[in-house]
Amino acid sequence: MKCPRCGSEMTLDTHRKYPLEMCYNCGYMEGRNMGTDPDVTSNFAYMKALNFNETVSFLSKSLGLDPVKLADWLDNPCEK
C-alpha cells in the first residue's frame, strides 16, 4: 500500500490491538487525518527538526538513558 501523504511504501504495524498500516518515512498512520492544519506538527516532524544535541537530550530524557552513552552510540553505531 502506498502512503497518501508522501507516496512511499507503508508497513504493517502489528504492535497494537489491531494492525495498522504506517509510513515510517513521513509518520502517517492509516485512518488518521492528513493534518492540513499548519500549526499542528507531528512527532516525526518535531524529531526531524531537532539538531544532534537536542535529539540526544530528548531521547535520553524520554527513554531514561545516559546522554553520553547515547551520543557515543549515535556517532558510532557499528563499533562495539
Residue 75 lies in a domain: yes
d(CA 67, CA 34): 34
Classified as helix, coil or strand, 73 is helix
Span 9-22, mean pLDDT? 82
Which amino acid, one-letter code, is at 45? A
Residue 7 lies in a domain: yes
Give pTM, 2 decimals. 0.45
Q: How far is CA 16 from CA 6, 20, 32, in A?
A: 23, 8, 15
31-51 pLDDT, tens digit per residue, is 765 555 566 666 777 788 889
Q: Which domain holds residue 5?
A: 1-32
66-80 pLDDT, tens digit per residue, is 999 999 988 887 765
d(CA 56, CA 61): 8
Number of domains observed in the structure of the chain: 2
Based on the domain organization, do 28 and 55 belong to the same domain? Answer: no
Residue 60 lies in a domain: yes
d(CA 52, CA 54): 6
